[in-house]
Amino acid sequence: MKASNPKAEALRALLDPQRPAMAMAAHNPLAAKLAAEAGFEAIWGSGFELSASYAVPDASILPMGTHLEMMRAMGEVQDAPIVADIDTGFGNAVNVAYAVPRYAAAGVAAVVLEDKTFPKDSSLRPGGRQELVPAGEFQGKVEAARAHGGGMLVIARTEALIAGQGEAEALRRGAAYVEAGADAVLIHSKSKSPEEILSFCRAWDGRVPLVLVPTSYPQLSFADVAALGKVGLIICGNHAIRAAVAAMRDTFRRIREEGDIAGVEGSIASVAEVFALQGDDALRDLERAFLR
Active site residues: 58
Task: Provide the b/e sequence for 203-226 (b: ≥16 CB within 10 Å).
Answer: ebeeebbbbbbbbbbeebeeeebb
172-175, Cβ contacts within 8 angstroms, sequence gap of 24 or more: 172/135, 173/115, 173/132, 173/135, 173/138, 174/204, 175/205, 175/207
The C-alpha atoms of residue 107 and residue 3 are separated, in whole angstroms, by 12
Q: Which of 104, 96, 107 is nearest to 74 (CA)?
A: 107
* Cα angle for residues 56, 62, 67 (degrees, 5° grid): 120
Query: Is the bond into 119 cis (omega within 30 degrees of 0)?
Result: yes
The C-alpha atoms of residue 110 and residue 81 are separated, in whole angstroms, by 8
- Asked whether the beta carbons of 5 and 151 are under 8 A apart, the reply is yes
The H or E element containing residue 156 is strand 153-158
Distances (CA, A) of 54 to 26, 27, 58, 61, 247: 13, 10, 10, 10, 17
Neighbouring C-beta atoms of residue 61, cutoff 10 Å: 12
Q: Which of 202, 146, 192 is nearest to 170 (CA)?
A: 202
